[in-house]
Amino acid sequence: MQPIAIVGPSATALAARLVDRLDGRTAVVNRTDDDAEDSAVRGTDVTDGGVEIASAAARTVADTEVALGADGEWTGRGRVDGLDEFLDGLAPDHDYLVAVGDSRLRVPTVLLGSDAAAEDVPGPVIAAADAPEDVDLDALVADLDAEEPWITRETLVRRVESSPDADRAGAIATFTGRVRARDAPDDDRTTHLAFEKYEGVAAERMAVIEAELADRDGVFDVRMHHRTGVIEAGEDIVFVVVLAGHRGEAFRTVEDGIDRLKDEVPIFKKETTEAEEFWVHRRD
């Protein structure tokens, strides 16, 4: 799923225009306080356009009210703790998520308003304009599709479950790597890691590893994903998912997959603790 955040005055008006332009299943999470603007998003075609309106009436800053009704439409009951839960929960079933009035790390962001400043939002700014009509939607969609998608472990599990050989598989094994806050109780706390990849080469090398592991006897599909950018303590970093005939092949392949990814894929890590910042491979 490819997420995008829109923040600033008239953000919901731009969201309504953007949703009409996006090609795929789209969820909208709305956190604005403007009733008139909310109606622009609510008016989007829910049944024929493949658009789900996620909590259009939500008003809270710390939480978003949401529930999925029997008719498949989101309503304002129940609780989740912010945008992250929407990103992880909706990623396996959607092509896009438009977050209105909210931004977060690694989510491409559009800034609206003459007073808007990039440092006011955590996400990378891919477009800025005074008003919604000033945004070139064709360019925005092209830039958005070039950004790194929001991939979760469940996304990769769904993909291997759709493998042509899934009916021969008796096991799905997964590995999830996450940001560890500290190795020992008295260590300085790690606040976040920042990952950079060698563009093109990293994806190509990962694809080769996936193909070679999937050629093993009893292994039917292998999927891997490594997130880049700033990832905070407790967040997921990397996933390896293996579809195999039996658990033995699945477990062995998962372990070999993460070992090869760490050894062979050019992804570089900078660690920031409460006391210092350093590139991990350069530390004394």
Q: Please give the domain boundaries of the chain with CATH numbers for all domains.
A: 2-145 (3.40.50), 153-282 (3.90.1170.40)
Q: What is the mean pLDDT of residues 59-69?
A: 35
Q: What is the mean pLDDT of residues 247-264?
A: 97
Query: What percent of the chain is modeled with pLDDT above 90?
Result: 63
Burial class (CB in 10 A: 0-12, 13-18, 19+), 283: exposed
Model confidence pLDDT, tens digit, residues 173-200: 999 999 999 989 889 999 999 999 998 8
Task: State residue 76's pLDDT score.
Answer: 37
Name the phi and psi angles at 136, rounded to 5.
Answer: -80, 105
DSSP state string for 162-203: TSTTGGG--EEEEEEEE--S-SSTTSPPEEEEEEEE-TTHHH
Please give the single-letter amino acid code of residue 158. Answer: R
Please give the single-letter amino acid code of residue 58. Answer: A
**Residue in 266, 273, 130, 264 with CA at minimum distance from that of residue 192:** 273
Confidence of residue 251 (pLDDT cuts 50, 70, 90): very high
Model confidence pLDDT, tens digit, residues 142-151: 999 999 999 9
8 Å CB contact between 7 and 77:
no
Model confidence pLDDT, tens digit, residues 207-228: 999 999 999 999 999 999 999 9
Residues 6 or more apart whose Cβ sits within 8 Å of residue 198? 266, 267
Is the model's pLDDT at 46 over the cut of 80? Answer: no
Half-sphere exposure of 217 (CA within 13 A, CB side): 0
Please give the single-letter amino acid code of residue 193. Answer: L
Q: What is the mean pLDDT of residues 9-13?
A: 91
Half-sphere exposure of 6 (CA within 13 A, CB side): 29
8 Å CB contact between 3 and 107:
yes
Burial class (CB in 10 A: 0-12, 13-18, 19+), 138: exposed
